[in-house]
Amino acid sequence: MNAWLHILAALVLAPLVPGIVNRVKARLSGRVGKPLLQTYFDLAKLTRKGLVESHTASAMLGVGPAVSLAAICGALCLLPGPASPAPASFAGDFMLAAYCLGLSRLAIILAALDTGSSFEGMGASREAAFSALAEPVLFLALLALAADAPSLSLSGMLGQGLSGALAPERLFVPLLLFILLLTENCRIPVDDPNTHLELTMIHEVMVLDHSGPDMAMISYGAALKLWFFAAAVTLSLLPVQAMAPLAAWAAFLAGVVLVAVAVGLVESSMARLRLLRVPRLLGSAGALAALSLVLTVWR
């Protein structure tokens, strides 16, 4: 039962994370900003709306958001909680989690291409190009964690924090996971989630033709994906496995909030990178991940 508590918390609290990010950005710019629960309100409104579908689209337009949401939920089932292992933990499950995230991305890309829109095709090509650079970084970062882990599963790799492993190379992993959070969730400096200029968008331009419940599934899936990476960053920093259950949950939730605040700070202090500079960012992260893995293995 405790293993499913984290999944329940993610399903309920994930829409709160974008609210925290938006509130931090608003406060730093001198505005009141949207309510913290705005994502919940948006989801409720979208589920009550009808669907508007393109005449050139097939069934993939509606299947894509559902498959994407299901794949993200599958990845969450492989992520450990602060006081218990993952519900579906097994050796090598980190590879399945990465492929679940890839399947979620692929479903949205195919749905965007299915509309026949040149703008959405442009965003889909950018998403595919950047994901091809981000996935090796994710695998290298997880392998660096696995080098010191008691088992080759996310439950064994995450939750130990930095205790007992204060080598400098281990400190790179939370930073790498945070860069992946910004990339996989299309946040600044990789993409601006609030822009409405089609020529500069990546994720937002891919969902222009979605509406109603389909758009609700996409928005909810994006919130769950943001929660997944925020939880991974927190679990890579904090030794929650060595804490009492109540203290572990308190530290974990506080860590997720702090990661959301950090995302808001980054988006308020940086501008969006030019498209040609994003591969340099991911390439540098990949080199740092490879260095971390090599030093961890040789230590």
Written in H, E and C, the secondary structure of 57-109 is CCCHHHHHHHHHHHHHHHHHCCCCCCCCCCCCCCCCHHHHHHHHHHHHHHHHH
How many whole angstroms separate alpha carbon 45 and alpha carbon 37? 13
Specify the pLDDT at position 26.
92
Specify the pLDDT at position 64.
93
Specify the pLDDT at position 199.
58
Quickly tell me which residue has 């695998």 as its tokens. 139
Specify the pLDDT at position 71.
97
Specify the pLDDT at position 1.
61
Specify the pLDDT at position 147.
79
Radius of gyration of the chain (CA): 19
Prediction pTM value: 0.93
Q: Cβ atoms within 10 A of the Cβ of 215, count? A: 22
pLDDT less than 70: residues of the chain: 1, 161-169, 195-201, 299
Specify the pLDDT at position 167.
56
